[in-house]
Amino acid sequence: MQNISQASAQDAILLDSEHMAYLKNHLGTHGASDVICKAIDELSLGLARVQNFGSIADKRAVRQNCKALKIAANLVGLKSLAQVADETFVMIETADDVALASVLERLVRVGQASLSALWEHPDLPF
């Protein structure tokens, strides 16, 4: 009988606290709150789109979605998520569908963990 083991990947989630402070200092509490809420909405929608891609054949749609995710992630200082979105662009260009599917799964995993880290951040302005 063979032993079967399942690998579980863990990515470090990098949230730039200084960026949060920058938003709060330059936009005020209300302005920073608006920016963060809009980014959270965009990230949530973008991650849902990634999960709903029935096929990765539409590389243009995957690329556009990843670009929007990267912009929203950078807006609130989610460095890990922005980096994985960049890696997704590389996989789109390689035309390796297996690698692309893998990095899209990683994008969802890192995205969900990043959203959790953002919500739990003590310096949220709301």
Q: Is residue 2 situated within a structural domain?
A: no
Give the C-alpha separation, 91 to 59, whole Å. Answer: 10
pLDDT in tens, 10-55: 788 888 889 888 999 999 999 999 999 999 999 999 999 888 875 6
pLDDT in tens, 95-121: 788 888 889 999 999 999 999 988 887
Q: What is the dihedral of CA 122, 36, 48, 6, to 10 degrees?
A: -30
Q: Is residue 7 situated within a structural domain?
A: no
Q: Is residue 12 situated within a structural domain?
A: no
Q: Is residue 82 situated within a structural domain?
A: yes
Q: Is residue 125 situated within a structural domain?
A: no
The number of distinct structural domains making up the chain is: 1
Specify the residue for token string 């579980």.
Answer: 8
What is the rounded end-to-end Cα distance, in angstroms, of the chain? 55
Domain range for residue 91? 17-119
Q: Is residue 5 situated within a structural domain?
A: no
Q: Is residue 32 situated within a structural domain?
A: yes
Give the C-alpha separation, 115 to 40, whole Å. Answer: 7
Burial 33-70, CB ≥16 within 10 A → b, else e: bebbeebeebbeebbebbeeeeebeeeeebeebbebbb
Q: Is residue 105 situated within a structural domain?
A: yes
